[in-house]
Structures are given as C-alpha cells and as structure tokens.
Chains A and B, each alone.
Chain A
Amino acid sequence: MSIRRSAFLRGLWAALPFSLVIAPFGLLFGVVGTEAGLDIVEVMGFSIIVIAGAAQFAAVQMMADHAPTLIILATSLAVNLRMAMYSASLTPHLGKAPTGMRALIAYCLVDQTYAASMIEYERNPQQSLGEKVAFFFGTVLPICPLWYAATYAGARLGTRIPPEFALDFAVPITFLAMIAPLLRTPAHIAAAGVSVALSLALAFIPYNGGLLVAALVAMVTGAQVEAWTERRRVA
C-alpha cells in the first residue's frame, strides 16, 4: 500500500468516531431548519455552502426570531472565528500545498477534521506534505459527505425528534471528548482553565464576544506557561 493511501486510511479511521456525532447533529439541523420554515433547497444550501453546524443553528434560530440580517451575520461569523485560528495552526503543516488544494482544505476545515488532523500532526510532525494532505482528506470522508446526507435525511424526516434524546448535547460531548486527550502539559491545562473561566465570566457579552476574549487570553496563557516551563528546564 502506498504511503499516501495508508495516510488517507489512517485519517478516515481517526475521524470515523466523529461520524456518530455528525449524523445526529446533521439530522437535527435538517429537522430544525424545516420546522423553522426553510424548504429543502434552503436547508441543503446551508449545509453545503456554510458547512458549520453551530453557526447554521445560530443563523436559523435568529432568522426565526426575525433578527436583522447584519446582526445574524455578525453573530454567526463570530461563532466561526475559531476557523481562522484552525487555519493558522494548520498552516505550518499544510501551507506548502498548491493553492487549489489549500482552498479545498479550507472548505473542508471543520471542528472534527481539524481536531483529528491536528492530533496526528502533533504526534508525527516529521511526515511528508503528501502524507499530511492525504491524512486530512481521509478525515474529510466520514465527516463532510455525511453532514450533507444527514441534513437531507433530517429535512425529509421533518418531524420532531423526541427531546428525551437530548440531541442538543451531542455537540458539547464531542468537543469535550476532543479536548481531554489534548490536556497533556501544564500549559495545555492552564489554557483550557483560563478559557473556561473567562468564557463563563464574560458570558454577558453578546454575540459570542466573551468567547473571543477568553480564547485569546487562553492562547497567551498557554504560550506563556510553556515559555516558563522551558526556561525552568534550561536553568
């Protein structure tokens, strides 16, 4: 088996668990969007053009509440600002790929493909560019096509999923499951702690503004703790 094909398959395998979350979440978006009054073309348009679950839910919720267009866009884009940070942290690994390839990677850059790929690149940073790109597209396969399919199924289903299933909590559980294995060093733990504390303390700031502040301070905290730890080791 070629190196790239085996990297692709490893990516697929690494992202496969997330399909268990993508499926119900996509289904839920199809159901919620349809019940809010979108037709099937509009629901599918959101999942294909925007392809960002949390922002899609926020946009549909606010349109149903008759919020002004500019407020809806500002809020949903703020939810997606983390994508710029993902883009930045993938750049050292994938930045040398051809432009068209980078555009396709950017389109497929969602929480799950990012988390699965980043864990791999941090574990094996010495891999070739070809392997890293192949791994990334391996993670895309069980995530993005499934997102469209699940949205379609949900829109067709159109009926309410019983609230006992607590499907809303699929998203927090996935995110938490992604975070826990990342808490390897004091710096990572400090960054996560600051992120939680500040985002709760600043929850009163509208349009997710508190999360942005919390994330920036948490990044600086992580970097600073890492610098201190290294200095102490040298000294």
Chain B
Amino acid sequence: MIENTSQVWTVMIVLGLGTFLLRFSFLGLIGSRSLPVWALRLLRYTPVAVLPGLVAPLVLWPPATGGVTDPARLAAAIATVGVGLVTRNVFAAIFGGAAVLYLTPWLMGL
C-alpha cells in the first residue's frame, strides 16, 4: 500500500514535468531549423526501433503471469503482427490479437 502522500505528489509533479520536457525537447528547441539528412534518416526508424523492444519482453515474460511465458498471450502477439502485416490495418490487427487472446484459453480447455 502507498502511505507516503508527499512522495506521491513529488513523483507525480516531477515525472509530469520531466515527461513534458522529453516531449517538448526537439519540437521546442529545434523548432523551424531543419535537421541534417543523417538525423532525419535515423529518426525515420524511431517507431520500429523503440516499440518492438518495448513489447518483446512483455510478450515473452508477461508481468501478469509472474514472467512465465503464456501460450494465449504469445499466440495473440503473433496473430496481431500477422493480421497487421497482411491487412496493414491497425484496427484489424488489434481485433485479431484480442480474438486469439480470448479464444486460446477456451480452445485449450476443450
């Protein structure tokens, strides 16, 4: 349980400010000045460089199961990527993944 109210507000406000500064950093400081070609080339790959690495441990070692690989979550992840690759549609990929997530335990229970 959280009892330390002053810590709660310190964390909330400093984390809020820090996160805003991270978000504002390049947008705010660089503004209208143009970035060099190599920087643009690097930045093109930010989403595919960050998000897969963020997700991979959550897929293989979900905190909800105490880090034990779960067939339903693994199958759901594969289905999400598969549907996303085929349809190129984020909405379809989310639904495909969610369907597999809920259907796998049910199928395995048969």
| Chain A contact residues, CB within 8 Å of chain B | 17-18, 20-21, 36-38, 42, 45-46, 49-52, 54-55, 59-60, 63-64, 66, 69, 72-73, 76-77, 80-92, 94-96, 99, 102-103, 105-107, 109, 111, 114-115, 118, 163-164, 166, 168-169, 171-183, 187-188, 191-196, 198-200, 203, 210-211, 214-216, 218-223, 226-227
Contact = CB atoms under 8 A, between A and B. Distances in A.
Contacts of A211: 50, 53-54
Nearest to B59: A172
**Minimum-distance CB pairs A-B, first 7:** A180-B84, A222-B45, A199-B53, A49-B16, A218-B49, A177-B93, A17-B91
Interface of B: 1-5, 7-16, 18-20, 22-28, 30-35, 38-64, 72-73, 76-77, 80-85, 88-91, 93-94, 97-98, 101-102, 105
A89 B25 CA distance: 11
B53 A198 contact: yes
A21 B97 CA distance: 12
Contact of A173 (B23, B35, B40, B101): B101
B27 A85 contact: no
A37 B92 CA distance: 37
B22 A81 contact: yes
A96 B32 contact: yes
Given A102-B27, A103-B28, A199-B54, 15 more contacts: A66-B4, A73-B18, A80-B19, A173-B98, A179-B48, A182-B47, A188-B48, A191-B48, A195-B53, A196-B56, A218-B50, A218-B53, A219-B43, A222-B45, A222-B48
A17 B94 contact: yes
A183 to B, nearest CB: 7
Interface of B is mostly: helix
Contact of B19 (A55, A64, A164, A171): A55
B15 A50 contact: yes
A36 B56 CA distance: 27
B15 A59 contact: yes
A81 B46 CA distance: 12
A20 B16 CA distance: 25
16 contacts: A37-B3, A81-B22, A85-B49, A87-B24, A89-B46, A95-B26, A96-B32, A102-B27, A175-B55, A180-B81, A188-B45, A196-B53, A199-B57, A203-B57, A222-B49, A223-B42
Select the residue from B7, B28, B42, B56 with max chain A CB neighbours within 10 A: B56
Contacts of A52: 19
A169 B77 CA distance: 9
Contacts of A187: 45
Contacts of B48: 179, 182-183, 188, 191-192, 195, 218, 222
B16 to A, nearest CB: 4
A124 to B, nearest CB: 16
Contacts of B25: 84, 87-88
A177 B97 contact: yes
